[in-house]
A and B are shown apart, each in its own frame.
Chain A
Amino acid sequence: DGGITQSPKYLFRKEGQNVTLSCEQNLNHDAMYWYRQDPGQGLRLIYYSQIVNDFQKGDIAEGYSVSREKKESFPLTVTSAQKNPTAFYLCASSIGRADGGYTFGSGTRLTVV
């Protein structure tokens, strides 16, 4: 079955360490997205990529970095520059048109201690 996989489900890191969240899809989708969810804040766009080897900053890109070397993969690195990294992170993919909707992964809960 096609889908989008985020791993791990839960991640703990010490303050000051970089951490990379994995996102893989086998839906043959061109576009991929990273969102962050905080209580009362809804879904805020961190980065998105509409095609391999290209990506764009979203609304809250500071302290994050991404790469898109393969169509299937869009890893997100949370760097030590991110002031409040503890959050629920969601990855999504789409065919690149709004009427295709997004398919979301199940999320990664990152806790920085």
Chain B
Amino acid sequence: DQQVKQNSPSLSVQEGRISILNCDYTNSMFDYFLWYKKYPAEGPTFLISISSIKDKNEDGRFTVFLNKSAKHLSLHIVPSQPGDSAVYFCAASDTMNYGGSQGNLIFGKGTKLSVKP
């Protein structure tokens, strides 16, 4: 059973417009969330994160919003650029799980973003 879901396998947007990538989770114990970006044949790289004590975190063109009641988070990219074309993975963690797996991240299946010039 998937604990982290990215229901849109792909998203296409025009350069300069906003990209919104969505992620839903089922485990109410998750308290830390991250977004990773991955280019083909490369490892994912960290983009932005948010703790459950916040509902928004911003870093330049990237903003992550967290809605705990809906168990939903989203990544906004404004303005979108062709270099943003990649697969974006949402990840979540239960940082208080001391059963040996604290620190482990649960990943969604990813959303492939294409930004057209």
Binding site for B on A (CB under 8 A): 4, 6, 31, 33, 35, 40-43, 45, 48, 50, 56, 88, 90, 92, 94-107, 109
- Across-interface contacts of B43 in A (CB, < 8 A): 4, 6, 90, 92, 104-107
Q: Distance (Å) between the CB of A71 and the closest chain B CB?
A: 15
**Chain B residues touching A, majority SS:** loop
Q: Distance (Å) between the CB of B34 and the closest chain A CB?
A: 6
A-B contact pairs, 25 of them (CB 8 A): A33-B104, A40-B109, A42-B107, A43-B89, A43-B110, A48-B101, A50-B100, A56-B100, A90-B43, A90-B44, A92-B43, A94-B103, A96-B103, A97-B95, A98-B32, A98-B34, A98-B93, A98-B105, A99-B49, A99-B51, A99-B95, A101-B46, A102-B44, A104-B36, A104-B45
Q: CB < 8 Å: which of B34, B89, B103 contacts A31?
A: B103
In the complex, which residue of chain A has the Cβ closest to the Cβ of B110? A42
In the bound complex, CA of A96 to CA of B105 (Å): 10
Residue from B9, B51, B95, B101 whose CB has the most chain A CB atoms within 10 Å: B101
B102 within 8 A of A: yes
- Across-interface contacts of B93 in A (CB, < 8 A): 98
**Chain A residues touching B, majority SS:** strand
B59 within 8 A of A: no
Contact across chains for A88 and B102 when beta carbons are under 8 A apart: no
In the bound complex, CA of A40 to CA of B110 (Å): 8
Q: Distance (Å) between the CB of B30 and the closest chain A CB?
A: 9
Contact across chains for B95 and A98 when beta carbons are under 8 A apart: yes
Query: Apart from A33-B104, A98-B95, A102-B44, what are 6 other A-B pairs with CB-CB below 8 Å?
Result: A31-B103, A40-B9, A42-B6, A42-B109, A98-B93, A107-B42
- Across-interface contacts of A109 in B (CB, < 8 A): 41
Q: Distance (Å) between the CB of B22 and the closest chain A CB?
A: 15
Residue from A31, A56, A99 whose CB has the most chain B CB atoms within 10 Å: A99
In the complex, which residue of chain B has the Cβ closest to the Cβ of A96? B103
Q: Distance (Å) between the CB of A105 and the closest chain B CB?
A: 5
In the bound complex, CA of A43 to CA of B106 (Å): 9
